[in-house]
Amino acid sequence: MITQLPPLDPSAPEPGGAGPNHPMRKVTRQVAFETGGWTPERAKKVEALFDELAPEWASRHTDQRMTPLVDALDRGEVRAESCVELGAGTGPGTSVLCRHFKQVFAFDISQEMLRRLSPEWGRRVRSDASRLPLRDASADALILMNMLLFPDEVERVLAPTGALVWVNSRGDQTPIHLSAEDVARALPGEWSGTAAHAGTGLWCVLRRG
């Protein structure tokens, strides 16, 4: 079961954005729900796309964009000492996470994105999140902000009592968007947790059971 908490700030403006016809929306759903949704060709395309977007991505580091992540860690009660951030990009989220966790591991498939992420925020690891260089059950918290969900890999690397933090900074207008219910439905087994709207975004924090 997912408990919907009240919006952090009910008067927040509606986000403008991508909407349900954005091409990344289809990729997001295929990766989450279909076997074979992520192919080596698709990985190359996505890597090239974000390598190209990297130089201007850092201009998106606004405090306002981080509101749902900060709220997720707070009201979602994420208390681990370390976290693994997948699809960290140039690190807008990492800059927040390094204040909350003692240790942050920032993963991304795009070298150009990671190159712009300050090593002071977290340890940078270039890797495809569909096949992480992590041991089974080794992550106490997995953070995905505007990032594709690879359900089997989340299930494999997240510790039994670990928390999955899912954030869409522009809510359902985010190109890489899934509702909290869809995230839970995509993951193997039973998951429950909390969800809320915060600022222009939404988040959920899910745990097994």
For tokens 């997912």, the residue is 2
Q: How far is the CB of 63 from ligand SAM (least distance, A)?
A: 13
Q: How far is the CB of 83 from ligand SAM (least distance, A)?
A: 13
Question: 162, 205 in Cβ contact below 8 A?
Answer: no
Tokens coding 116: 């712009």
The C-alpha atoms of residue 8 and residue 12 are separated, in whole angstroms, by 9
Q: How far is the CB of 78 from ligand SAM (least distance, A)?
A: 16
The strand pairing partners of 166, in sequence order, are 144, 204
Which residue, 79 or 131, has its beta carbon nearer to ligand SAM? 131
Q: Which long-range contacts (CB under 8 A, 24 or more apart) does 22-30 make?
A: 22/175, 23/175, 24/175, 24/176, 25/175, 25/176, 25/177, 27/148, 28/148, 28/149, 28/175, 28/176, 28/177, 28/178, 29/178
The C-alpha atoms of residue 112 and residue 39 are separated, in whole angstroms, by 21
Q: How far is the CB of 1 from ligand SAM (least distance, A)?
A: 27
Which residue, 146 or 200, has its beta carbon nearer to ligand SAM? 146
Which residue, 19 or 209, has its beta carbon nearer to ligand SAM? 19
Nearest to 166 by CA among 181, 139, 157: 181
Which residue, 89 or 193, has its beta carbon nearer to ligand SAM? 89
Q: How far is the CB of 11 from ligand SAM (least distance, A)?
A: 24
**Interface residues with ligand SAM (CB under 6 A)?**
46, 50, 60, 86-89, 92-93, 107-110, 113, 128-130, 145-148, 169, 176
Q: How far is CA 145 from CA 11, 85, 104, 116, 202, in A?
A: 23, 8, 14, 17, 10
Which residue, 2 or 58, has its beta carbon nearer to ligand SAM? 58
Which residue, 92 or 199, has its beta carbon nearer to ligand SAM? 92
Tokens coding 29: 């759903």
Q: How far is the CB of 59 from ligand SAM (least distance, A)?
A: 11
